[in-house]
Amino acid sequence: MIKNVLFDFDGVILNSMPVRDWGFAKLFEEYPQEQINRLLEYHRQNGGLSRYVKIRYFFNQILNQEITQNKVQDLAHRFSTLVKERLCDPRLLIDTTHSFIQKNFSKFNFHIVSGSDEKELVEVCDRLGIARFFVSIHGSPAPKDNLVAAIIRNNGYETFETILVGDSINDYDAAVRNDIRFCGFNNPDLKHIGTAYVDESMEELSLLIY
């Protein structure tokens, strides 16, 4: 029986990808569009990775340049400043997930585990009025697999009673590394991996965890 449900945030709880696309394009607007497009492609294919990783990828792999940790931190902070207000729009909440969480948060241990910056994530969830539904909210710069491990360890959870719901291969990898179940959400590329796959209705997740 499932007792603990770990949710990815971007693309699972909040339809935030267009906002983050805009944020990265704005952050690097002085660079050629072709280079920005390559970053956006990497960003979309790796939704579970943090902005810190993506900023490093842009410099190391696309620009073939080194970047200091201080510069990464500065750019990540600027990115947060650009997107935070837009992310606090309740119209971006994914209705089916939001409804499922509201109906079931008292029956399970719900957590958020995200590649988004943790400080920003906590503020956004608070302003959206959803923070109260979760036992804890976790984000980057720590890698997602480490965050999942910490949630399991710190709460004394059994791995066989725990599932991660995510929309990217990085979410799946984090689940596998921690020996917990994985439920893919609204991403056809994930249909044939993990324990189950959930489309927008969330009906499959209800059947799986009850």
Q: Which range among 69-73, 102-106, 134-138, 204-208 shows the weakest confidence by mean pLDDT?
A: 204-208
Q: What are the tokens at 203?
A: 């009906």
* Residue 174 near residue 139, CB atoms below 8 Å: no
Taking only the tens place, the pLDDT of each residue in 40-59 is 999 988 877 889 999 999 99
Burial (CB count <10 Å: 0-12, 13-18, 19+), residue 92: middle
In this prediction, residue 125 has a pLDDT band, given cuts at 50, 70 and 90, of: very high
Query: In this predicted structure, what is the pLDDT of residue 153?
Result: 98
Q: What are the tokens at 179?
A: 């020996």
* Residue 98 near residue 67, CB atoms below 8 Å: no
Cα 167 to the chain's mean position, in Å?
A: 8
Over range 152-173, report the average pLDDT: 96
Architecture of domain 17-87: Orthogonal Bundle (1.10)
In this prediction, residue 81 has a pLDDT band, given cuts at 50, 70 and 90, of: very high
Q: Which range among 49-63, 68-82, 145-159, 195-209 shows the weakest confidence by mean pLDDT?
A: 195-209
Q: Are strands 162-166 and 136-140 parallel, antiparallel or unpaired?
A: unpaired
Query: In this predicted structure, what is the pLDDT of residue 83?
Result: 94
Side-chain-facing half-sphere of 35: CA atoms under 13 Å: 16
In this prediction, residue 70 has a pLDDT band, given cuts at 50, 70 and 90, of: very high
Q: Are strands 162-166 and 4-7 parallel, antiparallel or unpaired?
A: parallel
Q: Write down the domain spans for the chain.
A: 4-15+92-209, 17-87
* Residue 76 near residue 24, CB atoms below 8 Å: no
Q: Are 4-15+92-209 and 17-87 equal in CATH topology? A: no
Query: In this predicted structure, what is the pLDDT of residue 167?
Result: 92
Given a cut of 90, whether residue 179 has pLDDT beyond it is yes
Taking only the tens place, the pLDDT of each residue in 97-110 is 999 999 999 999 99
Burial (CB count <10 Å: 0-12, 13-18, 19+), residue 29: exposed
> Which CATH superfamily is 4-15+92-209 part of?
HAD superfamily/HAD-like (3.40.50.1000)
Q: Which amino acid is at 22?
A: W
Q: Are strands 109-117 and 162-166 parallel, antiparallel or unpaired?
A: unpaired
Residues 6+ apart with CB under 8 A from 187: 11, 167, 168
Given a cut of 80, whether residue 18 has pLDDT beyond it is yes
What are the DSSP calls for 77-140, one per residue? HHHHHHHHHHHT-GGGB-HHHHHHHHHHTTTSEEEEEEEEEHHHHHHHHHHHT-GGG-SEEEEE
Query: In this predicted structure, what is the pLDDT of residue 146?
Result: 96
